[in-house]
Amino acid sequence: MSDSRLVTWLYPNAPFIDNDLLELSSETKDASDFGKYPRIINFSRASVTIRRDDGTEFIEQNSPCPHMLYNLMFKGKWQDAIRLCRVVESSQLWAALAGLALEFHELETAEVAFSSLTKVDKLQYIQYIRSITNEERRNAEMLLYRRCPDEAVSILLQADPPLIYRAIKVHINSFYWEKALDLAIKRDAYIDVVLWYRRKFLEKFHLAESDERFKKLFEKYGALDEDRIKKVKEEAKSAESPSH
């Protein structure tokens, strides 16, 4: 209960998966008839028991569809869950399905849900993740979607062989320059790549290098051969294919 409104979150796990889905999957009803200080004393499936400040109790009925959606999800009937959402035509239910599908890595279902929600950016990112053939990279991208870069790096480094280049790129894309450099030095790999991206970053924002470690490395490596950097990047990406 909030500001004379009854708010129901169909997918309360949203902050751990995709925070945008929290509001998208919420249903709001007017609760002004319940007085100034109503309290929820029981919530079961689609029924909400509300007690007014005078002690009177009311039962408010919500849609049974969210409960049906969760039952289908627990049974692994994702296609039936999609059909349910299409019949009901509720954006909140689609958002809940999107969150559940992401949580359980049902990317095809998530793609359908985001398409129905017309969330083009999220749809395109899910399509991109589905196109990745390397399992560790795919799992890492899912963690990045959930804004968990450190966990994504850990997954990439646990691969066999370790996907060092991709792990470094996660840090670079997150502007964690020190972490990117630390990892490159520790693995003795792609130090020049980190320097190249760092230089591009500084040039783009018209900044001077202020980090002493980077200054010393720029002096050590001198001019960076862009063609060589591109070749190193392509070789690293090629090594990720399942045939290697």
Query: Which is more confident, 161 or 49?
Result: 161
What does the mean pLDDT of the chain come to? 90
Torsion angle of the four alpha carbons 20, 26, 32, 34, in this order, in degrees rounded to the nearest 10: -130
Q: Note the pTM of the prediction, 2 decimals.
A: 0.82
Considering Cα of 194, then 198, then 204, then 205, what sign does the dihedral take? Answer: positive
Q: How many CA atoms lie within 13 A of 243 on its CB side?
A: 2
Structure tokens at 138: 């795919």
Question: Taking CA 156 as the corner, what is the angle to CA 154 and CA 158, rounded to the nearest 5 degrees?
Answer: 70
Query: 174-227 pLDDT, tens per residue?
Result: 999 999 999 999 999 999 999 999 999 999 999 999 999 999 999 998 888 888
Between CA 116 and CA 170 the distance in angstroms is 30
Between CA 133 and CA 241 the distance in angstroms is 7
Question: Quick check: 128 and 121 in contact, CB under 8 A?
Answer: no
Q: Quick one: DSSP state of residue 2?
A: B
